[in-house]
Amino acid sequence: MKKIGLLCLAIVLALGSLGVGYAAWTDTITITGSVTTGEVCMDIQCPIGSVDGPLSYLTTGYEPAIPAIYGQDWNATVIGPGFHLNPVQRTKNVGWVTNDCAQVPSPRKEVTVTLHNVYPSYWDHLSLGIHNCGTIPLRLEYVTFLDANDNLLIGYDETGAPVTTIKQNTYVKFDLSNNGIFDVEIYWGDNWAVQIEPSDSWDISFWIHVLQDEGIDFSTPQNFTFKAAITGVQWNEYGTVPLPPH
Amino acid sequence: MKKIGLLCLALVLALGALGVGYAAWTDTVTITGTVNTGTVDIEIIDYSNTWIWKVLPATNADEIVIDKFWDIGGDGRTPVGMTVPAGVVDAFPNPPPGTVGVDPVAYANSSAGKADDSIVIDIDNAFPLQALTADFLLHYAGTIPVKVTVSDLGFVDNTDTPIDTDIASYVTINYYDSDITGYKGTPIEVAIGDQWHYCDYILVEITVDLAQVDNLQGQSGTINGTITVKQWNEVP
């Protein structure tokens, strides 16, 4: 018995000496890496086109006539509302159009186009490029109209129904002077739902026509402001973006 | 009588002369044996990716192609349950076989790290409502059952210090029962604390699934994670 007792003690001591702090066995996989997210980005491209040429430096009167037709005003054929017939080019430079595109650093989220010294029947065709400065393809979802304070601007279609947002080529007129008489009408052109790939650009354009607002005092210069906010969306979400509330 | 005594004495003397240091009879048996310890060992069997393509001419918003092939044994792009068509080149941004007019948009990729038992995950240009998954197949080659005790994945700065990011809550890691092909079938999720046994195959998916939240755009981050298994009887 004595020998068995000594044997057991020897085994215990041997096991005990195997390692101090006896711990469970483990194995580990290590994961490293990176995650980046894409970006939906639109940028207005310069120059902004206008059929009324780039001459814009006079502030006291109208631009001097030049021999060529370049810079001479275009007028709607019909002075009343509606883009019924092709516009015609007149023989005078009275109004002109400027924009601040070149002064706005890229990415240009907002540019200001100013129609100077315009009058009823004045007509212009404005065009601009929308550039995809992001990493995800996008589509133009809708255009919303805002006043100078970024409040939704209510326009009206040809039936007189109110419009604040458009999703297709369409007509809208506005009472910018808030006197109950429409001042301008526009007809929005293209490129709805066209996919703009990263680094690509697409052209959009609209016509603008100044209407006969008898309620305006034209003895003093009048300035009206409206904004067209163009919303683009990642391509696979087109058609799902809710419109801003009225 | 005298002769017997002498005889006895002679016998004792004779026996006594047989050997100085008279000892007990002995015999010996020898025990020889071996002790083999078990192992706790995870192997990384293979890696897979998600590649997102957009069909260029399509005007339908749903025209995207999701390419998710499984590469078993490094033999090229082997779709699960399919064979690689001849001439297919295994590299992003080459489009899936049979597709034309597509443009690569985003990807999630897993690949072997430089150190043993390490994996590198790259997820690029993630965008909302399209999950991107980088996955890899583990084989439990250990002979002792284990349980996962650590499964974490987080964002870190350039000193590997954990940081908070807006996209952190949209990155998840999940485990599924699988087989040698990486197929998960009707997914049976493996929970933390479940036992892994010898030759179990576990598919691990790291997924980025962003919500339509503006401040998630244009972000980037470095991720760091660990999966640790421990012998089962040491895990409560």
Whether pTM > 0.90 for this model: the answer is no
Please give the pLDDT value at position B10.
58
What radius of gyration, in Å, describes the C-alpha atoms of chain A? 33
Query: Tokens 């550039």 correspond to what residue?
Result: A131
**For residues B109 and B99, which has the higher predicted lDDT (pLDDT)?**
B109
Distance between CA B167 and CA B160 in Å, rounded? 17
Question: Residue range B10-21: average pLDDT?
Answer: 54
Please give the pLDDT value at position A55.
47
Tens of pLDDT, residues B116-174 = 899 999 999 998 888 888 888 899 999 999 998 888 888 988 888 888 888 889 999 99
Distance between CA A121 and CA A78 in Å, rounded? 8
Q: What percent of chain A has pLDDT over 90?
A: 13
| Type of residue found at A198 | P
How many residues are present in chain A? Answer: 246
Distance between CA A38 and CA A198 in Å, rounded? 11
Residue A220 pLDDT grade (very low, low, confident, very high; cuts 50, 70, 90): confident
Question: Residue range B10-31: average pLDDT?
Answer: 65
Q: Which of residues 83-122 of B touch A (CB under 8 A)?
A: 103, 105-106, 110, 113, 115, 117-122
Distance between CA B7 and CA B5 in Å, rounded? 5
- Partners of residue B106 in chain A, C-beta under 8 Å: 38, 136
pLDDT higher than threshold 80 for residue B89: no
Cβ distance of B44 and A27 shorter than 8 Å: no
Judged by phi (left if over 0) then psi (alpha if -120 to 50, else beta), residue B74 lies in left
- Partners of residue B56 in chain A, C-beta under 8 Å: 195, 197
Kindly tell me the sign of the dihedral angle through the C-alpha atoms of A62, A63, A66, A69: negative
Burial class of residue B79 in the structure, from the number of CB atoms within 10 Å of its CB (0-12 exposed, 13-18 middle, 19+ buried) = middle
Which parts of chain A fold into alpha helices (H)?
2-16
How large is the ipTM?
0.71
pLDDT higher than threshold 90 for residue A39: yes
Burial class of residue A178 in the structure, from the number of CB atoms within 10 Å of its CB (0-12 exposed, 13-18 middle, 19+ buried) = exposed
Distance between CA B111 and CA B77 in Å, rounded? 14
Give the minimum alpha-carbon distance from A41 to chain B in angstroms, rounded to a whole number.
Answer: 10
Structure token pair of residue B157: 């700065």
Tens of pLDDT, residues B184-229 = 777 788 888 889 999 999 989 899 999 988 889 999 999 999 999 9
Cβ distance of A237 and B61 shorter than 8 Å: yes
pLDDT higher than threshold 80 for residue B181: no
Please give the pLDDT value at position A137.
87
Count CB neighbours of B184 within 10 A. 21
A27 touches chain B (CB under 8 A): yes
Q: Which of residues 51-90 of B touch A (CB under 8 A)?
A: 54, 56, 58-59, 61-62, 64
| Type of residue found at B151 | S
Distance between CA A88 and CA A105 in Å, rounded? 35
Look at residues B120, B139, B134 and name the one whose alpha carbon lies nearest to residue B181: B139
B41 touches chain A (CB under 8 A): yes
Tens of pLDDT, residues A119-176 = 888 899 988 899 999 999 888 888 888 888 888 888 998 888 998 888 888 899 998 8
